[in-house]
Amino acid sequence: MLVDPIMSLWSDRLFQGAVVVYLIALLVYAAEYVTGRSPRLRAAAPAAVGDRAETGSVAVATPPEGITGGGDVADAAEAGTPAGRSRTDRYGRMAVSLTILGVLVHLASMVARGLATSRWPLGNMYEFTSALCLLALVSWLVALRKMPTVRTVGVFVLSPVLVLMFLAGTVLYAQAAPVVPALQSYWLIIHVTSITLGSALLLVPGVASALYLMRRSGRPAWLVDKLPSAEILDRIAYRVTVVGFPIYTFAVIAGAIWAEAAWSRFWGWDPKETVAFVAWVIYAAYLHARATAGWWNRGAAWINTAGFATILFNLFFINMVVAGLHSYAGV
């Protein structure tokens, strides 16, 4: 199977372009977070505007529901712009637009990689990590569409994604090439795609639960004061996990079926299999804890954060340090 060097080069350049766009988006998200006001001050802003209206000042309408720290009325009034279009809000909208642009460039990189190798572009750790980051950001954008008030969390979502992208483009990078015979199966598309999607979806609630714990503790105050409420963070963590867990479950089952076809056994306690199963148990425990009195808030968040750490541990330590039957995936 021949590799198209031109498409491979385009894939690499598009990947680098996506990293640059994501980096700019991260800086703009950070600008939104720094210039925004805490939820407590934003809640007080409409009352302050109303007081000015009673004394003869120009009244400014309350921002529409769903606008985050960037939509605070006082900033809009000071800047002389319409409500909901303060400087902070413009930063947030720019950051989301840049994220969408980065996702499109990133997707083009994955498509070019597949065309260059004439196969499904999930045959090594570089491609897997790239796809994981892409799907994590797509799930973030979908969650943002459903819950616009969590937009200020974007800086915390994009930060680990950029770290993963940097590692993928340096330590984990692999030249475009055909996969080894063991991976030349339709199960590559079924199992690896589902495990990538499931893992990507579970990264977002992991970040949300970690921020939830910080928000509940109130420390560090300078960092958590501008976060959405603990209830909103808990809600997004639970809702995304409810979607991601069944996909992850299917991926584990599909992996066992593929293992039986390739190695004549469904389960062999390979390190990656074992840690994937441990992560599944943790997330099952999280969903159970959310329905258990006394565990549904802080206790469940700790369990979800542990699942997030296990996913990352399986992604890096198991693939890069521990030898096993999955080592042929490449580093």
Domains held by the chain: number: 1
292 in any annotated domain = yes
The pTM for the full model equals 0.79
Q: Which residue has the higher pLDDT, 35 or 46?
A: 35
pLDDT at 230 over 60: yes
- For residue 194, the enclosing domain spans 180-331
Least confident segment among 20-34, 55-69, 263-277, 288-302: 55-69
Instruction: Evaluate whether residue 45 is within a structural domain.
Output: no
For residues 131 and 223, what is the distance between their CA atoms, to the nearest angstrom?
Answer: 30
**Residue 7 in domain:** no
User: Does residue 270 sit within a domain?
Assistant: yes
Tell me whether residue 322 is in a domain: yes
> What is the band of 319 on the pLDDT scale with cuts at 50, 70, 90?
low
The whole-number pLDDT of residue 298 equals 85
Q: Is residue 202 part of a domain?
A: yes
Confidence class of residue 322 from pLDDT cuts 50, 70 and 90? low
Element (H, E) at 1: none
Q: Where are the beta strands (DSSP E) in the chain?
A: none
Tell me the per-residue pLDDT of 3-43, one tens digit each, with 9 for 90 and over.
Answer: 889 999 999 999 999 999 999 999 999 999 988 765 554 54
Cα separation, 113 vs 72, in Å, equals 43
Task: Write the DSSP assignment of 49-64 as a string of letters.
Answer: HHHHHHTTPPP-PPPP
235 domain-assigned: yes
Q: Per-residue pLDDT averaged across 45-72, rounded? A: 43
The answer to the question of residue 9 being in a domain is no
Query: In whole angstroms, what is the distance from residue 28 CA to residue 21 CA?
Result: 11
